[in-house]
Structure 1
Amino acid sequence: MVKANIVLNAKGLACPMPIVKTKKKMKDLKAGEVLEIQATDKGSTADLQAWAKSTGHEYLGTEAEGEILHHFLRKGEENFSDSVPAILEISLEAFKQKVESDEPLNILDVREVEEYEEAHIPGVVHIPLGEVEKRSNELNKDDEIYIICHSGRRSEMAAQTMKKQGFKRLINVVPGMRDWTGKIE
């Protein structure tokens, strides 16, 4: 197992809390030091990989020990720009009105397979966050795309990844499926 300078207990927490706690704890480390995040949320692996990449930290890997996932991140250089281009947001209520109006929409659900299979908006495209970078070519870069996850955090990371690939009309749905009350499959 990788030797960590600090251990963060994120067991029992669901998205977006492992990322929120990781972001706060990372401030306690110096560049080059390693943070171990102990989590039980299966989606935390893809979340932490994407977050590390977007913030200049190094994802070192994940080791499973029963139900506990031990994620390891090395803090990047202090001068890495934490400012990423802003992604447009739409409130869940305004998004629900668009969905219910039956106007044609391109919706991308970036939750993990288990979350998606439990319930999703009819007609969405499903690409888990961890696969967005390599599968975004399945989508049209010129389309307006609404991106949704559980809370709005993973969808924001997916949008950042897609923006770097040339997508220009991305809209993050906030807060996400956690509070969705519309039709589901």
Structure 2
Amino acid sequence: MVKADVMLDAKGLACPMPIVRTKKKMDELKPGQVLEVQATDKGSTADLQAWAKNTGHKYLETRIEGNILHHFLRKDGDYLLEERFAIPTIPLEAFRKKVESNKQPCILDVREIGEYKQAHIPGVIHIPLGEVEKRSNELNKEEEIYVICHSGKRSEIAAQTMRKQGFKKLINVVPGMRDWRGEIEQ
């Protein structure tokens, strides 16, 4: 059974806040220490797993007690961080104009299934963040791909994961569906 050195309360927070607070708290820890993140956002499991993998930390496990998810992550100090390449971003208004043009771009929506079903841009490809690493082979590595989530945080993590797999034409849509005012499907 994993024992935490530090606990972070992220209950009641939605994406991207559990990741933002986890990163901040992880920066305070020493290598080898374990952080317990308590969250109620069901998407936090996939989000934190992808974030940990992308940053070199170790996602240990999740325990569920009622509606509280207890995520355990170990700060890793023995790895060599690969150089992180900045993923280019596009402001939402410029992205909306691209979507509304005659040639719709390839758009990857990495939100959880419930968020996607609520509202999404017509014609997007939906692969939740937690499945991006396994399913990115469904996409063309040579094609320009616009990656979108709720706020821009999960899409950044997804794009970093895809960059490591050889995708070179990735653009992060910021801030994402949270502020989208274009056409949607439900």
Q: TM-score, normalised by structure 2?
A: 0.96
In structure 2, what residue type is equivalent to 1:180?
Answer: W
Deviation at 1:125, TM superposition (A): 0.2
Distance in 2 separating the partners of 1:82 and 1:30: 20
Structure 2 unpaired stretches of 5+: none
Distance in 2 separating the partners of 1:3 and 1:49: 18
Determine the structure 2 residue equivalent to 1:162.
162
Determine the structure 1 residue equivalent to 2:62.
62
Listed as ranges, the matches of 1:62-141 within 5 Å are 62-77=62-77, 80-81=80-81, 83-141=83-141
Deviation at 1:79, TM superposition (A): 6.5
Change (3 A) 1:17 1:82: farther
Listed as ranges, the matches of 1:6-85 within 5 Å are 6-77=6-77, 80-81=80-81, 83-85=83-85
Distance in 2 separating the partners of 1:114 and 1:37: 22
Q: Is the 8 A contact 1:147 1:171 kept in 2?
A: yes
Distance in 1 separating the partners of 2:103 and 2:54: 33
Q: Is the 8 A contact 2:110 2:148 kept in 1?
A: yes
Determine the structure 2 residue equivalent to 1:171.
171
- Percent of counterpart pairs with the same letter? 73
Deviation per residue, 1:101-123 (Å, 9 max, x gap): 23231000000000000100000
Q: How many residue pairs get matched?
A: 185
Q: Is the 8 A contact 2:56 2:79 kept in 1?
A: no
Root-mean-square deviation (Å): 1.3
Deviation at 1:82, TM superposition (A): 7.4
Deviation at 1:78, TM superposition (A): 6.7
Q: Is the 8 A contact 1:55 1:80 kept in 2?
A: no
Deviation at 1:54, TM superposition (A): 1.1
In structure 1, what residue type is equivalent to 2:179?
Answer: D
Q: TM-score, normalised by structure 1?
A: 0.96
Distance in 1 separating the partners of 2:22 and 2:136: 27
Change (3 A) 1:12 1:83: farther
Stretches of 4+ aligned residues off by more than 4 angstroms: none
Deviation at 1:81, TM superposition (A): 2.9
Structure 1 unpaired stretches of 5+: none
Deviation per residue, 1:58-97 (Å, 9 max, x gap): 0001111111110000000077437511101000111011
